[in-house]
Amino acid sequence: MRFALAGNPNCGKTTLFNLLTGSTAHVGNWPGVTVDRREGVYRGAPGKGGAQKIDIIDLPGIYSLSPYTPEEAVARNYILDDGPDLVINIIDSTNLERNLYLTTQIMESDIPMVVALNMTDVLRKNGGAVDTHELSRRLGVPVVNISALHSEGIGELMEAAVRAAADRRSGSSVLEGSAMGEAVHKIAHLFCERGLSNPTFRAVKAIEGDMPQTGGLSLSARIDEIKGEIGLDELFEGDFEAAVADARYSRITEGFSSVVAYTSSARGLTASDRIDSVLTHKLLGLPIFFLFMYCVFHLTFADPLIFSDLIAEGGIPSPGVMMQGWMGALTEWASDAAGGALESLGASEWAKGLVVDGIFAGVGSVLSFLPQILMLFLFLSLMEDSGYMARAAFLMDRPLRRFGLSGKAFLPLLMGFGCSVPAMMGTRTLDDEKERRLTVMLMPFFSCGAKLPIWAMFGAAIFPGNAGNAVFAVYAIGIAAAVITSVILRKTLLKGAASVFIMELPAYHLPRPLNLAIHLWEKMKGFVIRATTIIAGATVVIWFLSNFGFGLSMVERNSPESIVGILGRLAVPVFAPLGFASTPDAWKAVVAIVTGLIAKEMVVSTLGVLYNPQVEGDALEDEAASGALAAALVANFSPAAALSFMTFNLLSVPCMAAVASANGEMRSARWIWTTIAFWLITAWGGSFVVFRVARLLGF
């Protein structure tokens, strides 16, 4: 059996989906998280023959079943064409009237359905209750109270669903009994004769002037005839879509919403409203947001923490830096242990080099930043889960609009702080093609998790004491680049204005520890797996290329005569104006930039290999590798050059996976090449400007 979950955005579909299927799909407290449908399996429905397996499909959140937005099309086509055995219509019970609008449409199909009244915990807290018996009687389908977040009522819901799926149901329309009822009836009959499924649903759509897959075109003439016979044209002056919507709303307000009772006489302002009066305040909102973000970066990257020198001499590092230190010590210890083990086994010099200077130096330098990545994502998940992220989009809408972007585009861009790949897929929620292309093109400027090690490494090495500010500055440079290039693109390649942004703000929730843990676990898993597979493999390649010359003879480690040395030096002149290509070792930075085009973790692992100063064997335990790497960076990068190098990595081609993903979203060879060129040009130009400005400022 197949059950589909359908409901408005942010009503809790994915939470229920995860609960039923035991999966860990992304739950976000803002609309538009699920773009494609997702499938999972529910086991353990208490059927008569023991547990049974049910496929569960999580559809994107939609307000209606018209085919106007990509999400609506996905959901509508699934419900109509794939014919699931049952639809679980999830309703946010704190927003009954708006949610029932979709319900009245699903009811018109012939597919069995149950209504799951979600968020009943919130409703209860607000002093409300829904008379489910009465609502069920009026709708003609089972209604069950649940709270997906607290797993309440899930057993009852699934029992009711299994029972309902066994019965036949034929579509019913709230238009029955209105002037349009007769037309619906007649047209549905017409569809029935032609053997089409869901005749009532199709009939209402036909009256609205929307004909989803009716097969024969010959019907439209007959439909117009029926409309004429009944005199609908005169009644509604031809605007049937508005008339149908009106009819739905009036039935909902008259017929259904009275089933909610509020026990407390005056509902007054909810807690969310009161919090919002401060956090989305016209003047205070944005400063609070930026202050909050600043604190987040400070806690993750600062060393020492501000004012901490009052407590301890020299101050104390932020929790993020402290944990990074531990992780660094751990990877170093592992590297030493591996080196020692190889030595006692009598391994050859080059094998030891490969393991210690290649794999451990490269992968270890990437892995040591894991704690800081997790810390930043903990804050981002907290913001997202609590509902503050949605406020950020709301707050940013007005300033962004001036630059040709809307708050709607800001949501996928925010996801870009995590990873560009799913964020680019998230742009499918934008209906305007130009705005979608623009959003994909700006995506890399919203620094993703894989770039974090670069910022953390340079921040700590080049800007001691100010690492938090330096990282914050990188993020600010990214946003500035997005704003400036957006204005330019909107005036040239992608002429047009931002689309209108309408989003309801979800209620604030206390973040759920389990949800946070899942986010962090997924992040950690992804990062560690990448570091130990793709990045490790690529690091080995870099090690070989930096230890062998073109004649395949081993050269001195990391010598300019090695293969990457020769190739890197060829490219140095291209980067000379950007400030970081003036030292004899400059080719190493250039090689790191090029490998960074494949995956951004490669920047750090490449520098880790190429700048690894350990000399053959004896120095194994003498020098702290990370300290030496920092010293090498200081010798090769002035602060201005470091900022310029970071800017290049921030703005250039993000990684191969993101290019593939952008290609999937653009669906045009011309556009993907334009995009790649745009990224490279912006990176070069941005670094050039950053370097000059930083020098003027005395860095």
118 vs 173 by CB, closer to ligand GDP: 118
Q: How far apart are CA 445 and CA 647, in angstroms?
A: 9
Residue 147 binding result from ligand GDP, Mg ion, none, given CB thresholds of 5 to 8 Å by partner type: ligand GDP
Min separation Cβ 77 and Mg ion, Å: 18
Q: How far apart are CA 475 and CA 469, in angstroms?
A: 10
Structure-token match 């579509």, residue found: 171
Please identify which residue in 34, 103, 649, 682 interacts with ligand GDP, judged by CB under 6 A: 34
Helix (H, G, I), strand (E, B) or coil at 488: helix
Please identify which residue in 6, 15, 441, 445 interacts with ligand GDP, judged by CB under 6 A: 15
Residue nearest to ligand GDP (CB): 12
Burial zone of 699 (CB within 10 Å; 0-12 exposed, 13-18 middle, 19+ buried) = middle
Does 103 help bind ligand GDP (rule: CB under 6 A)?
no
Residue 28 binding result from Mg ion, ligand GDP, none, given CB thresholds of 5 to 8 Å by partner type: ligand GDP
Q: How far apart are CA 494 and CA 674, in angstroms?
A: 12
Does 74 help bind ligand GDP (rule: CB under 6 A)?
no
33 vs 646 by CB, closer to Mg ion: 33
Record the tokens describing residue 365, joined without a space. 């330098």
CB atoms within 10 A of CB 602: 28
121 vs 561 by CB, closer to ligand GDP: 121
Contacts of 148 (CB under 8 A, 6+ apart): 12, 15, 16, 19, 90, 118, 119, 154
Min separation Cβ 13 and ligand GDP, Å: 3
Does 19 help bind ligand GDP (rule: CB under 6 A)?
no
Does 505 help bind ligand GDP (rule: CB under 6 A)?
no
β-strands 86-92, 113-118 pairing:
parallel
Please identify which residue in 91, 122, 376, 405 interacts with ligand GDP, judged by CB under 6 A: 122
> CB of 355 within 8 A of CB of 339?
yes
270 vs 532 by CB, closer to ligand GDP: 270
Residues 293-312 vs Mg ion: string with x where CB under 5 A? --------------------
96 vs 694 by CB, closer to ligand GDP: 96
CB atoms within 10 A of CB 263: 10
Residue 122 binding result from Mg ion, ligand GDP, none, given CB thresholds of 5 to 8 Å by partner type: ligand GDP
Site stretch for ligand GDP (CB under 6 A), options 11-19, 292-300, 566-574, 629-637: 11-19
Up-side HSE of residue 328: CA atoms within 13 Å toward CB? 21
Q: How far apart are CA 547 and CA 173, in angstroms?
A: 74
90 vs 302 by CB, closer to ligand GDP: 90
Min separation Cβ 148 and ligand GDP, Å: 4
Does 429 help bind Mg ion (rule: CB under 5 A)?
no
The phi, psi pair for 118, rounded to 5°, reads: -90, 175
> CB of 572 within 8 A of CB of 587?
yes
Task: List C-alpha distances in Å: 293 to 27, 289, 660.
Answer: 22, 6, 31
Please identify which residue in 143, 149, 204, 359 interacts with ligand GDP, judged by CB under 6 A: 149
Residue 149 binding result from Mg ion, ligand GDP, none, given CB thresholds of 5 to 8 Å by partner type: ligand GDP
Helix (H, G, I), strand (E, B) or coil at 211: coil
Min separation Cβ 298 and ligand GDP, Å: 26
Q: What is the 3-state secondary structure (H, E, C) of 244-292?
A: HHHHHHHHHHHHHHHHEEECCCCCCCCHHHHHHHHHCCCCCHHHHHHHH
Min separation Cβ 271 and ligand GDP, Å: 12
Does 33 help bind ligand GDP (rule: CB under 6 A)?
yes
Beta bridge partners of 152: 147
Please identify which residue in 35, 38, 56, 61 interacts with ligand GDP, judged by CB under 6 A: 61
Residues 9-38 vs Mg ion: string with x where CB under 5 A? -----x------------------xx----
> CB of 13 within 8 A of CB of 116?
no
6 vs 609 by CB, closer to Mg ion: 6
Min separation Cβ 17 and ligand GDP, Å: 7
DSSP letter, residue 50 = B
Of 307-336, binders to Mg ion (CB under 5 A) are none
Min separation Cβ 429 and Mg ion, Å: 12
Min separation Cβ 61 and ligand GDP, Å: 5
Contacts of 456 (CB under 8 A, 6+ apart): 301, 324, 369, 372, 467, 471
Chain positions contacting Mg ion, by CB under 5 A: 14, 33-34
Chain positions contacting ligand GDP, by CB under 6 A: 7, 9-15, 27-29, 33-34, 61, 118-119, 121-122, 147-149, 385, 509, 512
